[in-house]
Amino acid sequence: MLKVVRVALLGLMLGAVGLAGQTAQADSLSEGYLLPELFDIMAEEGRSSSLSDPAVPETAPGRASWERAIARIYDAQRMHDDFMAVLDEQLDAATRADAIAFAQSDLGRRVLQLEVSARRALLSEEIDEAARMALVTARNASDDSAQGRALARVRERIAVNELIELNVSLGLNTSLAYYNGMAEAGWMAGLAGADMLALVWAQEGAIRSDVTDWAESYFLLAYQPLTEDEMADYIAYAASPAGDAFNRAMFHAFDAVFVDISRRVGAAMAQQMQQDTL
């Protein structure tokens, strides 16, 4: 099974004031929110997760075709374009304008760069492990210590947009899509809908634990350079009605993109499993 999809970032929004203005704003915002780099990272995460699945070892028959299928599915440009198309439908003018203002602010530029840089750094197993060890240290630290205060700010940042709940929901949706893709491709076809849902819901606790650990370790790493005042200002923006609406629209778009990806990976896995049994 795939690793949990994690998308605890702010994201982007598009303009919708006529086709020419829409295209210009979309290009500007994609660059401002570092979307090309973010989707490059997410595509690399997806490829790495899929290709390390023990169900298809490197010596498996048809391994080359599996690698080609995963490369086609995790196409960063297509992921980016699909995401922006869905997000555009979710945003009203006020939310777009507010998000543009944040992205163009000094704090917004700083936060977005820190988030994406940390996301790329976590592609390294060594840095990921170090970030998780730093989280353990922060969880064991006293509330009035520097580590304890930093973790409290991170948890507040997570809580104001319900990032754990949104990521858990996304993880469950993508898990179900993965199994649906397998069933549609002829593998697990005997598994009834209710049984499949039960299989997915049985993963909820593990998904929640994984998402919580990852989000807290990720944000601790990303926000290290921010002062307490900068974090307070960022949290205030994220908690605002427009900031929260933007975050939810972004998650809706991520859900659409990654549910489709997971269904396609499930279908590719089914085809691989069928080939291996021939």
pLDDT digit string, tens, across residues 22-31: 554 556 667 7
b/e code 184-201 from CB counts within 10 Å (16+ = b): ebebbeeeeeeebeeebe
pLDDT at 96: 80
Residue 110 belongs to a domain: yes
* CA 94 – CA 100 distance, rounded (Å): 10
Residue 14 belongs to a domain: no
Residue 186 belongs to a domain: yes
What's the domain count of the chain?
A: 1
pLDDT at 97: 81
pLDDT tens for 22-65 read 554 556 667 778 889 999 999 999 999 999 999 899 988 889 99
Residue 10 belongs to a domain: no
Residue 12 belongs to a domain: no
- The confidence band for 11, taking pLDDT boundaries of 50, 70 and 90, is very low
Residue 4 belongs to a domain: no
Given a contact cutoff of 8 angstroms between Cβ atoms, the answer to whether 238 and 157 are in contact is: yes
- The confidence band for 227, taking pLDDT boundaries of 50, 70 and 90, is very high
Element (H, E) at 52: none
Given a contact cutoff of 8 angstroms between Cβ atoms, the answer to whether 131 and 218 are in contact is: yes
Query: Average model confidence (pLDDT) for the chain?
Result: 88
pLDDT at 59: 87
Higher local confidence (pLDDT), 160 or 273: 160
pLDDT tens for 199-214 read 999 999 999 999 999 9
Residue 276, pLDDT > 80, answer no
* CA 158 – CA 244 distance, rounded (Å): 11
User: Which residues are CB-neighbours of 173 under 8 A, at least 6 positions away?
Assistant: 255, 258, 259
Residue 17, pLDDT > 50, answer no
Residue 7 belongs to a domain: no
Residue 6 belongs to a domain: no
pLDDT tens for 141-191 read 999 999 999 999 999 999 999 999 999 999 999 999 999 999 999 887 677
- Write down the pTM of the prediction: 0.89
* Parent domain of 24: 19-277
* CA 275 – CA 144 distance, rounded (Å): 58
pLDDT at 14: 30
User: Which residues are CB-neighbours of 213 under 8 A, at least 6 positions away?
Assistant: 132, 135
User: Which residues are CB-neighbours of 92 under 8 A, at least 6 positions away?
Assistant: 245
